[in-house]
């Protein structure tokens, strides 16, 4: 750290937003969710703040007066909104009379999207950022530090620095590649699936169409404030049905419409001219990637969730020549709809030596189990087996 100057801010305006985004663009796996505007909106809208258990710390690492490293960390007073579950670790601390919270977390709040988290100009700067996070946790006498949904470069750096890695699984769709090129349309994608999978999707789509439901697709500035209002009503309804409170405020989406409008795609389901459901995707045309984010309905229609959250998005992605669609956390049911298992990773450092050793042992066994689970999932591939190539 001798060559670097570390600054820690609580106000995102104190960090140079263009410099932050320029670092993000240089990473192996940039996503819109690590843009300065996205993270600042979470804080400024009251969605991720100390009051909600997410006290933000903006880290800037300079070398020779130039910003060469940046990330965001949160002092967390709970483990909600993370999607990498450490409740058992917190419970073990509590049973031994120790405080697990607050802990230090580097992640995008409420967003289980794999991607770059340590925005570094080079490998030494990435190593220095990791060291800074650990030193910050030690200086504040925190139980632990965590980095969630890391890219491959960050996983390697964390392992080399002695952090413990943890595996997870998500389900992502990838467009066809190789000599046949991408899928021409949704029908060609369907034709690539096994017969029973294809038939089930066709039946589900038919039920929605026969219920009189149609869709409007709106991108970027096409999404009006009234559309955002209806979407947010649906978003709130989803949480209400689960007896929970939405993580994100209406002001967050208002800020997104202003500062990052080009990264949003909205599907509105209508029946008899009235909106009844909405599904929101984040998109990035530069990387040809889309991420399923939020959905809700004010009227129940059987199979509408699958149509709004999978089939409409996949149909749009294929038509637009997108390379991938990530369906979010968990959900084996996504495999039947053409989304395949993908490994994810997080990194963890625990201050207490005995608990660190116990967690390391647990993670070794969990990783072995996760490997077996991934093998089992791959055996359930929903696509047709490729035809054998005839010998010449």
Give percent above pLDDT 70 in the chain: 98
- Mean pLDDT for the chain? 96
Distance separating alpha carbons of residues 112 and 66, to the nearest angstrom: 31
Residue 390 lies in a domain: no
* Residue 241 pLDDT > 60: yes
How many structural domains are present in the chain?
A: 2
Which CATH number do you get for residue 98? 3.40.630.30
158 in the same domain as 183 = no
Give the count of beta carbons closer than 10 Å to the beta carbon of residue 158: 24
pLDDT, average across residues 359-383: 95
- How far is CA 125 from each of CA 46, 129, 131, 144, 240, rounded to the nearest angstrom? 31, 6, 10, 22, 44
355 in the same domain as 290 = no
102 in the same domain as 22 = yes
356 in the same domain as 317 = no
Distance separating alpha carbons of residues 145 and 137, to the nearest angstrom: 6
Tens digits of residue pLDDT in 159-179: 999 999 999 999 999 999 989
Confidence category of residue 390, pLDDT binned at 50, 70, 90: very low
Query: What pLDDT, on the 0 to 100 scale, is given for residue 389?
Result: 40
Confidence category of residue 197, pLDDT binned at 50, 70, 90: very high
* Residue 392 pLDDT > 70: no
Q: Where are the beta strands (DSSP E) in the chain?
A: 5-9, 54-63, 66-76, 103-106, 119-120, 144-148, 164-174, 213-219, 264-271, 274-284, 289-297, 324-329, 340-350
pLDDT, average across residues 25-48: 98
Query: What pLDDT, on the 0 to 100 scale, is given for residue 387?
Result: 44
99 in the same domain as 14 = yes
Tens digits of residue pLDDT in 7-22: 999 999 999 999 999 9
Query: What pLDDT, on the 0 to 100 scale, is given for residue 391?
Result: 41
120 in the same domain as 266 = no
Residue 152 lies in a domain: yes
* Residue 355 pLDDT > 80: yes
- Rg over alpha carbons for the chain, rounded to the nearest Å, is 22
In the block, residue with structure tokens 């060291």? 131
* Residue 374 pLDDT > 90: yes
Residue 336 lies in a domain: no
Domain span including residue 128: 5-166+344-378
373 in the same domain as 237 = no
145 in the same domain as 47 = yes
- How far is CA 171 from each of CA 82, 149, 180, 288, 386, rounded to the nearest angstrom? 17, 14, 23, 17, 21
238 in the same domain as 120 = no
CA 179: distance to chain centroid?
Answer: 31
219 in the same domain as 185 = yes
247 in the same domain as 124 = no
185 in the same domain as 161 = no
Distance separating alpha carbons of residues 1 and 68, to the nearest angstrom: 12
Taking the CA atoms of 265, 17, 287 and 306 in sequence, report the sign of the dihedral they define. negative
pLDDT, average across residues 104-120: 98
Distance separating alpha carbons of residues 385 and 378, to the nearest angstrom: 12
């Amino acid at each position: 750290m001798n060559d670097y100057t570390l600054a820690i801010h609580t106000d995102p305006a104190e960090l140079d937003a263009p410099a932050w985004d320029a670092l993000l663009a240089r990473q192996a796996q940039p996503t819109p969710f690590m843009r300065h505007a996205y993270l600042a909106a979470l804080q400024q809208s009251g969605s991720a703040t100390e009051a909600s258990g997410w006290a933000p710390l903006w880290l800037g690492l300079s070398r020779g007066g130039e910003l060469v490293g940046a990330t965001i960390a949160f002092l967390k007073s709970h483990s909600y909104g993370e999607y990498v579950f450490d409740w058992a670790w917190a419970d073990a601390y509590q049973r031994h009379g120790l405080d697990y919270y607050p802990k230090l977390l580097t992640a995008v709040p409420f967003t289980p999207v794999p991607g770059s988290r340590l925005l570094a100009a080079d490998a030494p700067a990435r190593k220095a950022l990791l060291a800074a996070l650990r030193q910050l946790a030690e200086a504040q006498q925190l139980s632990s530090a965590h980095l969630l949904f890391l890219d491959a470069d960050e996983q390697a750096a964390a392992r080399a620095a002695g952090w413990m890695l943890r595996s997870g699984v998500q389900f992502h769709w990838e467009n066809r590649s190789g000599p046949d090129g991408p899928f021409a349309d949704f029908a060609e994608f369907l034709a690539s699936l096994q017969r029973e999978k294809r038939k089930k999707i066709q039946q589900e789509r038919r039920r929605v169409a026969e219920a009189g439901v149609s869709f409007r697709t709106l991108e970027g500035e096409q999404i009006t404030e009234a559309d955002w209002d209806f979407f947010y009503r649906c978003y709130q309804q989803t949480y209400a049905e689960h007896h929970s409170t939405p993580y994100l405020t209406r002001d967050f989406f208002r800020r997104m419409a202003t500062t990052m409008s080009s990264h949003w795609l909205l599907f509105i389901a209508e029946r008899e001219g009235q909106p009844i459901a909405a599904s929101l995707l984040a998109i990035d045309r530069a990387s040809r990637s889309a991420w399923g984010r939020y959905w809700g309905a004010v009227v129940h229609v059987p199979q509408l969730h699958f149509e709004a959250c999978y089939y409409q998005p996949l149909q749009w992605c294929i038509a637009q020549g997108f390379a991938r669609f990530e369906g979010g956390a968990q959900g084996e049911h996504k495999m039947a709809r053409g989304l395949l298992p993908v490994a994810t990773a997080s990194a963890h450092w625990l201050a207490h030596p005995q608990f660190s050793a116990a967690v390391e042992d647990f993670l070794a066994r969990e990783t072995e189990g996760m490997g077996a689970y991934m093998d089992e999932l791959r055996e359930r591939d929903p696509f047709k087996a490729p035809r054998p190539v005839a010998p010449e």
